[in-house]
């Protein structure tokens, strides 16, 4: 069975580098989601601990 | 993209390390350090995680500005020995990719700063990136020998951003830190350019030694050093720095002026700058310039380190 041709006529090395870059972008996106979540939790907890005065 | 450039990109595909190189990690480390000092010197209680995120945002913002700089300057970077191994001139990363990377990181860092700290810090960070990428890189760098004097404002803003992130305002002491870095920048970079001016001339960048000559540059370095030395001590009198800071700044300032006087009396930069000299290659007569360049780095690092130390200790 012949090997499927690589997309965009790229070399195997270029394909590997592209996959690594794609992984880096994916990890960056996940990190950003976690960052926003952490900031939100901290900000909410800061507001929550303000005692109510009536 | 030309077929030749496309072929080059295909032959040398960009690795993750090339994108990290676009962020100018060495410049970023100094920016992070001064930004952190501003944040701590504000003496405002701040959640440690939010403080860490704020410093991270300053780092990413500085990196984004570096990527935008490399995207715009790839033509002249290719001509200079100091910069020709960067990812864009070597063809590992295209100009478009570098610019896109810089824009995305700029938006990310400003947005995250706004969420983690406040809008003043986010606005100042956005202004810093804009000033470095547009005002300095696209406009001043190629048009005036005062490029690094005015452009130095971008490098001087990180402690102000850090201060704003911690406290939500920027008092006079924050601007004092700005002023110290602002006045430090010309002697630091002109000392460097005195022994790399051949590179700048080849690329058509109007650095001071190229336009006004070495003698005028040495005089201006001395003038800026004479202003910087007392300015460096000023925080000891405004309550920002303590006695240790005052002592270190006074001794450091005297040494700085000493190195500047020695450089002024030397022939640094007078020798022809043809050939393949590296960044730290010592040409005849250039030792004094190289010494001031090295000392200026140590001076600024030490000032901010002592300030950071004093404020951290005072919190214990």
pLDDT digits (tens, 9 = 90+) for A4-53: 666 677 788 888 888 888 899 999 999 999 999 999 999 988 876 556 55
Is A39 in the B-facing interface, judged by CB distances under 8 Å? yes
Q: What is the pLDDT of residue B282?
A: 54
- Nearest-neighbour CA in chain B from A2: distance (Å): 23
CB B248 within 8 A of CB B306: yes
Domain enclosing residue B46, as ranges = 8-169
**Same domain for B227 and B162:** no
Picking from A11-25, B85-99, B100-114, which range would have the lowest pLDDT averaged per residue? Answer: A11-25
Is the ipTM beyond the 0.90 threshold?
A: no
User: Under a CB-based contact definition with an 8 Å cutoff, are residues B224 and B249 in contact?
Assistant: no
Q: What is the DSSP letter of B282?
A: -
Same domain, B57 and B21: yes
Q: B10 to chain A: which residues are within 8 Å by CB?
A: 10-11, 14
Q: Does A46 touch chain B (CB under 8 A)?
A: yes
The answer to whether residues B255 and B153 belong to one domain is no
* Together in a domain, B192 and B274: yes
Do B16 and B157 lie in one domain? The reply is: yes
CB B28 within 8 Å of CB B59: yes
* Mean pLDDT value across residues B199-228: 90
B51-71 average pLDDT score: 96
For residue B17, the chain A residue with the least C-alpha distance is A21
Residues of chain B positioned with their CB less than 8 A from the CB of A41: none
Q: By the CB < 8 Å criterion, does A33 face chain B?
A: no
- Does the distance separating the beta carbons of B47 and A21 come in below 8 Å? no
Residue B212 has pLDDT above 50, yes or no: yes
User: Which of B171-185, B195-209, B277-291 shows the lowest mean pLDDT across its residues?
Assistant: B277-291
Tell me the backbone φ, ψ of residue B239, rounded to 5 degrees.
Answer: 90, -5
Q: Is the pLDDT of residue B81 over 70?
A: yes
- Residue numbers of B between 25 and 84 with CB closer than 8 Å to A: 47, 49-50, 53
Please give the residue of chain B at the shortest CA–CA distance from A43: B116
Q: Which residues of A touch B47 (CB under 8 A)?
A: 42, 46
Q: Mean pLDDT score of chain B, rounded to an integer? A: 90
Among B169, B196, B227, give the residue marking a domain's end: B169
Q: A29 — contact with chain B (CB < 8 Å)? A: no
Same domain flag for B183 and B270: yes
Please state, in angstroms and rounded to a whole number, the distance separating the CA atoms of residues B127 and B110. 10
Could you state, in order of their start, the residue ranges of all structural domains in chain A? Answer: 13-48
pLDDT of residue B270: 81
CATH of the domain at B132: 1.10.357.140
Q: Would you state the pLDDT for residue B301?
A: 96
Q: Which residue on chain B is closest to A46 by alpha carbon?
A: B47
Domain boundary among B134, B152, B169: B169
Of B9-18, B75-84, B223-232, B299-308, the one with minimum mean pLDDT is B9-18
Q: Are B141 and B279 found together in one domain?
A: no
| Residues of chain A contacting B115 with CB distance shorter than 8 Å | 36, 39-40, 43
Report residue B316's pLDDT band, with 50, 70 and 90 as the boundaries. Answer: confident
Model confidence at B2, pLDDT cuts 50, 70, 90, reads very low
- Within this chain, do residues B153 and B263 fall inside the same structural domain, yes or no? no
The secondary structure of A1-54, three-state, reads: CCCCCCHHHCCHHHHHHHHHHHHHHHHHHHHHHHHHHHHHHHHHHHHHCCCCCC
- Is 50 exceeded by the pLDDT of residue B217? yes
Task: Please tell me whether residues B313 and B218 are part of one structural domain.
Answer: yes
Per-residue model confidence (pLDDT) at position B210? 84
Q: Are residues B157 and B195 in the same domain?
A: no
Show the CA angle centred on residue B176, arms to residues B175 and B177, nearest 5°. 90
- Answer whether A6 touches B (CB < 8 Å): no
The tens digit of pLDDT for each residue in B266-286 reads 988 887 655 555 544 556 668
Instruction: Tell me whether A41 touches chain B (CB under 8 Å).
Output: no
pLDDT (0 to 100) of residue A9: 74
Q: What was the pLDDT predicted at B19?
A: 92
For residues B232 and B183, give the distance between their C-alpha atoms in angstroms, rounded to a whole number.
9
Domain boundary among B149, B169, B189: B169
Overall domain count for chain B: 2
Give the least confident one: A1-10, A19-28, B78-87, B164-173.
Answer: A1-10
What pLDDT, on a 0 to 100 scale, did the predictor assign at position B256?
98
Q: Percent of chain B scored above 90 by pLDDT?
A: 74
């Amino acid at each position: 069975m012949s090997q499927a041709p690589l997309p965009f006529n790229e070399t195997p090395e270029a394909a590997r580098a592209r996959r690594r870059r794609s992984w880096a972008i994916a990890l960056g996106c996940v990190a950003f989601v976690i960052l926003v979540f952490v900031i939100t939790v901290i900000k909410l907890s800061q507001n929550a601990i303000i005692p109510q005065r009536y | 993209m030309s077929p030749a450039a496309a072929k080059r990109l295909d032959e040398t595909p960009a690795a993750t390390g090339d994108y990290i190189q676009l962020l100018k990690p060495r410049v970023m480390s100094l920016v992070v350090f001064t930004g952190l000092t501003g944040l701590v010197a504000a003496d405002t209680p701040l959640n440690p995680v939010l403080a860490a995120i704020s410093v991270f945002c300053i780092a990413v913002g500085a990196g984004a500005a570096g990527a935008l700089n490399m995207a715009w300057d790839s033509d002249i970077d290719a001509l200079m020995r100091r910069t020709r191994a960067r990812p864009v001139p070597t063809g590992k990363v295209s100009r478009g990719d570098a610019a896109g990377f810089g824009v995305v990181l700029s938006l990310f860092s400003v947005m995250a700063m706004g969420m983690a700290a406040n809008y003043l810090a986010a606005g100042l960070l956005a202004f810093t990136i804009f000033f470095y990428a547009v005002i300095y890189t696209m406009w001043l760098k190629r048009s005036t020998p005062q490029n690094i004097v005015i452009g130095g404002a971008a490098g001087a803003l990180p402690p102000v951003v850090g201060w704003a992130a911690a406290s939500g305002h920027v008092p006079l002491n924050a601007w004092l830190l700005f002023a110290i870095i602002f006045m430090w920048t010309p002697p630091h970079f002109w000392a460097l350019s005195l022994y790399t001016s051949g590179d700048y001339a080849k690329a058509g960048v109007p650095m001071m030694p190229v336009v006004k000559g070495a003698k005028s540059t040495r005089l201006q370095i001395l003038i800026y050093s004479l202003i910087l030395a007392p300015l460096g001590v000023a925080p000891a009198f405004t309550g920002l720095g303590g006695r240790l800071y005052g002592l270190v700044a006074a001794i450091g300032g005297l040494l700085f002026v000493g190195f500047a006087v020695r450089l002024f009396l030397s022939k640094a930069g007078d020798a022809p700058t043809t050939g393949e000299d590296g960044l730290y290659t010592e040409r005849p007569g250039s030792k004094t310039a190289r010494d001031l360049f090295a000392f200026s780095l140590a001076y600024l690092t030490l000032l901010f380190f002592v300030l950071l130390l004093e404020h951290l200790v005072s919190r214990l």
